[in-house]
């Protein structure tokens, strides 16, 4: 069955030390290194445990696949394109991140920090799927929790005003028991909350252990493929990624979505990091309310503080535009420069290396005396800025705070900063400038090299084209 090769895996930390060791070289656990035969199936790597997992009723691995003629495959492809739709504003926001809907037989991992709202999100998805889909009528959806009792889930569903007759709740941590119990239900979708709480009999180690996590996921993948019932799987992951679970699962599952958000903010972002059925650069935006997550329909202004055009102006603020998936977001960067005996740099929401580079460029190329200045940088609303289009706004925010000169709040900044202080153009300039113009900004600072690509736009906005940071400072400060 498939290509089998032997490997050695530590049951405690998941390390693959290449040979047997009495003490794991990575985690120093004693007698935890075991031999596994590893098989490769359709791009995913699974671990086959000798006899334990091969129970008769469990859908089997790649062994039952046979070669198919191209004609048969083509016939099947029409079916592949069919997706289970998710109705309503909330459902459409989730469906967009999934790549247009839920693919039958897919295994989807929802990762995220504890408390971010994964159970809430999945209970809501289960709710709308069980409410019925237009002409198709209600369907059965099973929400299995190993974390909460069915009364607790019921209470939560009540608070969230989910009243779907097709929604079934079940509390169990035994994968065999779960798959056996739902057989008679033929549900449209199965939700498992969470992978860290379920276990498979016959696999050594308790729930959450790396081998349990791998084996349970492989069993759920086989179940999904054999029955065509999509399985939505929750996985806890911490910011530092030190819970091994979801990271190693990314290879096994079809789709990986992460729910992100800061404790102090009610906004939640659903981001696709792997998708066998669609693009991975879509982003869903939600707001956590008393009755669950609501889709944010127009998120362009989400990441701005109260400093909108027309309000009072403060030094150290600058606005940029980032593109994520098919949408644009305005983003505000805040900088605070303070002189003192000790110099500290505190950077939040941007890569520290990127910020250090821009600070150095401001000193070397634009002559700002920042050597003895403490600098604090923050991106409003806890958004992580990875788009270099924000470089210029970051530089402008630092200048504004250092020179104690508030920037007019109807100016936006778009551009990458190079090591020589030169401004470079970024992709989708036209889309970004259109977004700021629509939100009432009157001026937009862009790299000179981008000016030509913007000449065709007929917008009510002044384009200030600058070649380098010195030119920006001379024109605005």
| Interface residues toward ligand TYD, by CB under 6 A | 112, 114-120, 156, 159-160, 288, 290-292
Q: Which does 188 bind (CB under 5 to 8 A by kind): Mg ion, ligand TYD, none?
A: none
CA 255 – CA 343 distance, rounded (Å): 44
Q: What's the closest the beta carbon of residue 147 comes to Mg ion, in angstroms?
A: 5
- Locate tokens 């129970």: which residue? 55
- Residue 33, token pair as written in the block: 């290194």
Enclosing H/E stretch for 401: helix 391-402
How many residues contact Mg ion, by CB under 5 A? 1
CA 380 – CA 21 distance, rounded (Å): 49
Q: Which residues pair with 191 in a beta bridge?
A: 143, 232
Q: Which does 246 bind (CB under 5 to 8 A by kind): Mg ion, ligand TYD, none?
A: none
Q: What's the closest the beta carbon of residue 97 comes to ligand TYD, in angstroms?
A: 16
Q: Which does 307 bind (CB under 5 to 8 A by kind): ligand TYD, Mg ion, none?
A: none
Nearer to Mg ion, 119 or 307 (CB): 119
Q: How far is CA 13 from CA 25, 443, 449, in A?
A: 10, 54, 51
435-440 contacts at long range (C-beta below 8 A, 24 or more positions apart)? 435/300, 435/321, 435/328, 435/330, 436/319, 436/321, 436/330, 436/412, 436/461, 437/461, 438/300, 439/300, 439/301, 439/309, 439/330, 440/308, 440/309, 440/310, 440/410
Q: What's the closest the beta carbon of residue 240 comes to ligand TYD, in angstroms?
A: 17
Q: Are 170 and 150 in contact (CB under 8 A)?
A: yes
Q: What's the closest the beta carbon of residue 53 comes to ligand TYD, in angstroms?
A: 28
**Which one of 22-30, 69-77, 111-119, 304-312 is the stretch in contact with Mg ion (CB under 5 A)?**
111-119
Q: What's the closest the beta carbon of residue 131 comes to ligand TYD, in angstroms?
A: 17
Q: What's the closest the beta carbon of residue 207 comes to Mg ion, in angstroms?
A: 15
Q: Which does 117 bind (CB under 5 to 8 A by kind): ligand TYD, Mg ion, none?
A: ligand TYD
Q: Which does 292 bind (CB under 5 to 8 A by kind): ligand TYD, Mg ion, none?
A: ligand TYD
Q: What's the closest the beta carbon of residue 193 comes to ligand TYD, in angstroms?
A: 7
Q: Which does 63 bind (CB under 5 to 8 A by kind): Mg ion, ligand TYD, none?
A: none
Q: How far is CA 33 from CA 25, 30, 106, 205, 368, in A?
A: 10, 8, 32, 12, 57
Nearer to Mg ion, 113 or 131 (CB): 113
Torsion sign (Cα): 402, 403, 408, 411: negative
Q: Are 415 and 445 in contact (CB under 8 A)?
A: yes
Q: What's the closest the beta carbon of residue 271 comes to ligand TYD, in angstroms?
A: 15
Q: What's the closest the beta carbon of residue 274 comes to ligand TYD, in angstroms?
A: 19
3-state class (DSSP) for residue 172:
coil
Q: Which of 32, 119, 334, 409: binder of Mg ion (CB under 5 A)?
A: 119
Q: What's the closest the beta carbon of residue 413 comes to ligand TYD, in angstroms?
A: 35
First to last CA, the chain: 70
**Which one of 17-25, 114-122, 212-220, 378-386 is the stretch in contact with Mg ion (CB under 5 A)?**
114-122
Nearer to Mg ion, 234 or 330 (CB): 234
**Which one of 15-23, 113-121, 197-205, 436-444 is the stretch in contact with Mg ion (CB under 5 A)?**
113-121
Nearer to Mg ion, 119 or 378 (CB): 119
Q: Which does 438 bind (CB under 5 to 8 A by kind): ligand TYD, Mg ion, none?
A: none
**Which one of 52-60, 112-120, 237-245, 349-357 is the stretch in contact with Mg ion (CB under 5 A)?**
112-120
Is residue 425 a contact residue for Mg ion (CB under 5 A)?
Answer: no
Q: What's the closest the beta carbon of residue 113 comes to ligand TYD, in angstroms?
A: 7
Nearer to ligand TYD, 156 or 251 (CB): 156
Q: Which residues pair with 189 in a beta bridge?
A: 141
CA 469 – CA 423 distance, rounded (Å): 7
For 334-365, give one letter per residue: b (16+ CB within 10 A) or e. Answer: bbbbeeeeeeeeebebbeeebbeebbebbeeb
Nearer to Mg ion, 119 or 425 (CB): 119
Nearer to ligand TYD, 292 or 421 (CB): 292
Residue with the CB atom nearest Mg ion in the bound state = 119
Nearer to Mg ion, 119 or 124 (CB): 119
CA 319 – CA 332 distance, rounded (Å): 4
DSSP H helical ranges for 99-149: 118-131
Cα-to-chain-centroid distance, residue 22: 39
Nearer to Mg ion, 12 or 194 (CB): 194
Q: What's the closest the beta carbon of residue 57 comes to ligand TYD, in angstroms?
A: 30
Q: What is the CA radius of gyration of the chain?
A: 26
CA 24 – CA 12 distance, rounded (Å): 9
Q: Are 106 and 255 in contact (CB under 8 A)?
A: yes
Nearer to ligand TYD, 244 or 370 (CB): 244
Nearer to ligand TYD, 117 or 415 (CB): 117
Helices and strands, counts by H and E, the chain: 11, 21
Q: Are 23 and 30 in contact (CB under 8 A)?
A: yes
Nearer to Mg ion, 119 or 334 (CB): 119
Contacting positions for Mg ion (CB under 5 A):
119
């Amino acid at each position: 069955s498939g290509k089998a090769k032997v490997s050695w895996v530590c049951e405690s930390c998941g390390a693959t030390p290449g040979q047997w060791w009495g003490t794991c070289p990575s985690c120093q656990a004693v007698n935890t290194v075991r031999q596994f035969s590893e098989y490769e199936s359709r791009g995913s790597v699974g671990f086959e445990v000798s006899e334990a997992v091969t129970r008769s009723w469990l859908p089997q691995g790649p062994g039952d696949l046979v070669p198919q003629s191209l004609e048969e495959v083509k016939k099947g492809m029409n079916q592949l394109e069919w997706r289970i739709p998710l109705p309503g504003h909330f459902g459409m926001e989730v469906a967009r991140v999934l790549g247009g809907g839920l693919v039958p037989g897919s295994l989807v991992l929802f990762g995220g920090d504890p408390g971010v709202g994964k159970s809430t999100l999945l209970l809501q998805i289960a709710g709308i799927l069980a409410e019925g889909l237009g002409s198709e009528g209600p369907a059965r959806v099973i929400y299995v929790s190993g974390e909460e009792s069915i009364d607790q889930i019921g209470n939560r569903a009540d608070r969230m005003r989910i009243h779907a007759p097709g929604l079934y709740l079940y509390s169990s941590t035994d994968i065999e028991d779960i798959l056996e119990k739902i057989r008679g239900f033929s549900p449209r979708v199965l939700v498992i909350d969470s992978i860290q709480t379920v276990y498979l009999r016959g696999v050594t180690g308790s729930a959450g252990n790396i081998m349990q996590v791998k084996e349970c996921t492989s069993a759920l993948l086989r179940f999904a493929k054999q029955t065509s019932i999509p399985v939505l799987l929750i996985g806890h992951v911490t910011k530092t990624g030190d819970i091994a679970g979801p990271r190693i699962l990314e290879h096994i599952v079809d789709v990986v979505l992460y729910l992100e958000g800061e404790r102090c903010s009610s906004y939640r972002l659903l981001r696709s990091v792997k998708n066998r059925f669609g693009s991975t650069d879509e982003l869903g935006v939600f707001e956590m309310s008393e009755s669950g997550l609501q889709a944010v329909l127009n998120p362009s202004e989400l990441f701005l503080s109260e400093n909108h055009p027309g309000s009072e102006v403060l030094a150290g603020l600058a606005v940029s535009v980032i593109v994520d998936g098919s949408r644009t977001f305005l983003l505000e960067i805040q900088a605070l420069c303070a002189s003192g005996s000790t110099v500290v740099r505190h950077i939040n929401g941007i890569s520290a290396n990127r910020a250090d580079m821009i600070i150095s460029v401001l000193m070397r190329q634009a002559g700002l005396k920042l050597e003895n200045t403490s600098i604090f940088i923050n991106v409003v609303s806890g958004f992580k800025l990875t788009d270099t289009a924000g470089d210029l706004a970051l530089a402008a925010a630092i200048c504004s705070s250092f020179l104690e000169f508030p920037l007019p709040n109807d100016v936006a900044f778009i551009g990458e900063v190079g090591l020589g202080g030169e401004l470079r153009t970024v992709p989708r300039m036209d889309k970004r400038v259109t977004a700021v113009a629509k939100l009432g900004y009157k001026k937009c600072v862009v790299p000179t090299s981008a000016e030509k690509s913007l000449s065709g736009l007929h917008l009510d906005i002044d384009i200030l084209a600058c070649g380098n940071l010195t030119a920006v400072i001379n024109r605005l400060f």
